[in-house]
Structure 1
Amino acid sequence: MYCEYQQFVKVYQWGDADLLMHAINVCQQSIENSADIYSIKELILKIDIIIPHMDDYGSESGSYALNASASVYETLEFIVDKDKIHIYNIAAYYTDTVDFKIQEDKELSAFEIDSNPHMIEARNFIINQINGNV
């Protein structure tokens, strides 16, 4: 999803792909090392500023960028408070992105979306991550 955000920044000249990548790296590092909660709280505030609002960027690209950056925001929040609602939100952003991608060419029914191999793969990935890491 990061690449979608990066493309959004390039097209709209808004946001900060480098900051988002830094936050992703902090998330990765927190898996193996203890996290500096104060620094992460400061980073959360910075990430919040670079999440595009759909009122301003209502395009598919804006939706993808919102989902990517909001997922990182939620991950940072989870690192701080361990509230599993953040995991649910991340999963929703991820499946929404897959849903949008599946329907880029034509609108599908809920059954067609749920039966699509990409959506099945996305949901299996989420289930495997939750079962293995949370």
Structure 2
Amino acid sequence: MILEIEKVKNVWHEVKDILSVPHNEKQYKKLLKVLDELIDEVGNNEKHPLAPLLETVGNLIEEYENDHFIQPNSEPLDVLKFLMKENQFTQKDLAELGSQGVVSEILNGKRELNVRQIKALALKFSVSPSVFI
């Protein structure tokens, strides 16, 4: 096992940008370009020597996207929590939804958003109201 780590250590500085989890948009976009190049090279050939690299880069990109982008068909509550996290909002920052008790019930899944609340959230987060439906 030590031998494999030594081999990786010797080339890590050359490959770390394409084998590391992206932590910002610049790194993410760089990985997208690498993925495009790999797709051009590998295509659908699962036996291509770079096929495992294509899969790895795809997984790294997917990980970033799951953490940083709203996923289609997400539950409205998941979308709201994601947007709160991205904007560093707390329950107190959602006063337009109603009292703190109402906000708490929404965030705990005990109450669904109504039309007025959906419109307010869409405006607050600059997103389509459809993400909360």
**Structure (1/2) with the larger helix percentage:** 1
Greater radius of gyration (CA): 2
TM over 0.5: no
Flag the structure with more relative contact order, 1 or 2, with Cα contacts below 8 A and sequence separation at least 6: 1
* TM-score normalized with structure 1 length: 0.31
